Structure 1
């Protein structure tokens, strides 16, 4: 629970950092910068700890999660949030935990515990309330909706792919090499990253460094540690706390004062997580 809590807080902070950096970096460049910083930090830690290469049996899951979650998900999410408002993207991307529970129950044979399903329903309702309350009311781009759906699908598929790999590899090994795979996949955006770093203010570049070190390197490692000790469905449900924390962080750092409907939706998200985590 401690590791999962660290992940949730760091991933919530990532939404604020992405919003600030997104005005200066394209989706692919932002993903490559974040993944490059994260992979470098993880490789240093991996070398210091001397954990060695992951066993052969872990590589299919590591490669799949690297491509789907570290690579495609980050680019799709960055791009989608440039095409639709924050409320719409929040509602669509939050299909991800539902897909994790369904895929985990089916492919990983985790089953469909009633409390988990009930908690997911409550949290998803909360995410919809938060999304509606934060929506700008304008028309949403069809491309943006498709990209957010792609982000939700690749997020869920990446988590379900990573779970079997953690039976053979440590959390650090799975995260380090998954992040490295994602960074390699994003290398075609290297030219954009170099040119945009030269033009962007220092604060935007520091946001990329923050995203790489904390939400990526640390947050994904604590996620893998927690995932290796519980089911994919329960871990997916835990991330429903993210929208509630994003509301609070945006309030504190960006001056975006939430309305009562937003706060009520955030409370529903947290309540659903509490239900889903009950034994």
Structure 2
């Protein structure tokens, strides 16, 4: 059975959000042992090695020169700065506060995409993002504990959201000149180079870390980074940055579900309600008007009497 490009892109986006949601569970284990920069570097090295091996097997080669600007910017901002800032920020604030601040990212992607890439902003997309953001706020408020948050942590999470949005918008043009695998592989390599100052910390912490924490770091590199960033790039190449950003609002709902199943953290009613809102908003933002409905609306508009001009 041959799947349409739109179905393949939707499947790739689904793989991305599921693996990114699973990353939050793994970060809880690895982040308790590894410092923010060392964890980011270890994750990126594992991802770069995995992607590099796949590129060699597939003989992908180097990306065209025209793609390098977007690859470099996304590598510095998204693969490098974002991961360090988010790891650090989540050590300074509780999970709910981090979720609240970081989920500004998709809104920033929509604004930057409309301004810099000319992305359309249909009413369904805006409505869906509003519903999902309300759901993310609900999840965040329900998970926020008393205290445990700092201004530094909030600023770091906000900077992570800005870096995420800037990286996505920079990556989009590069995908029209290079393959998803090339863009992801070399973006990951750029991010690893940015994080090399943390190499000493990584070597020291690997020598003393328990095996489960190190395995979680490797998992983060192979699956939520190498695989999920590639499926993200594949889907992003076939839709707008705004629509892909809206899709990531499914992540908070999946994190709640995975934490329930894997960690035994039973969510409250408010958390569950927020998760349902997140998923509902994603469904609305990715829905399209039926062709029949569009033709009917167009026909009704054409049939409407036009007002006479007054001389």
- TM-score normalised by the chain length of structure 2: 0.89
Superposition misfits of 4+ residues, deviation over 3 angstroms = none
Which residue number corresponds to residue 154 of structure 1? Answer: 163
Q: CA deviation at 1:201?
A: 0.4
Match for residue 279 of structure 2 among 266, 270, 273: 270
Q: CA deviation at 1:139?
A: 5.1
Q: Flag structure 2 segments of 5+ consecutive residues without an equivalent.
A: 1-9, 289-311
State how 1:28-107 maps to structure 2 within 5 Å.
28-107=37-116
Match for residue 259 of structure 1 among 265, 268, 289: 268
Aligned residue for 2:267, secondary structure, equals coil
Q: CA deviation at 1:138?
A: 1.4
Match for residue 168 of structure 1 among 143, 158, 177: 177
Aligned residue for 2:146, secondary structure, equals coil
Deviations 1:167-189 (A, max 9, x none): 00000000000000000100000
Which residue number corresponds to residue 242 of structure 1? Answer: 251
Deviations 1:115-138 (A, max 9, x none): 111100000000000000001121
Which residue number corresponds to residue 27 of structure 1? Answer: 36
State how 1:181-260 maps to structure 2 within 5 Å.
181-260=190-269
Deviations 1:64-94 (A, max 9, x none): 0000000000000000000000000000000
Q: Flag structure 1 segments of 5+ consecutive residues without an equivalent.
A: none
CA distance in 2, matches of 1:27, 1:53: 30
Q: CA deviation at 1:253?
A: 1.0
Deviations 1:234-269 (A, max 9, x none): 000000000000001111111111000000000000
Moved more, 172-181 or 248-257: 248-257
CA distance in 2, matches of 1:256, 1:21: 18
Q: CA deviation at 1:61?
A: 0.1
- TM-score normalised by the chain length of structure 1: 0.99
Deviations 1:184-213 (A, max 9, x none): 100000000011111110000000110000
Aligned residue for 1:52, secondary structure, equals coil
CA distance in 1, matches of 2:249, 2:255: 11
* Residue correspondences, number: 279
Moved more, 224-233 or 133-142: 133-142
Aligned residue for 2:205, secondary structure, equals helix
**Pair member with larger Rg:** 2
CA distance in 2, matches of 1:29, 1:139: 23
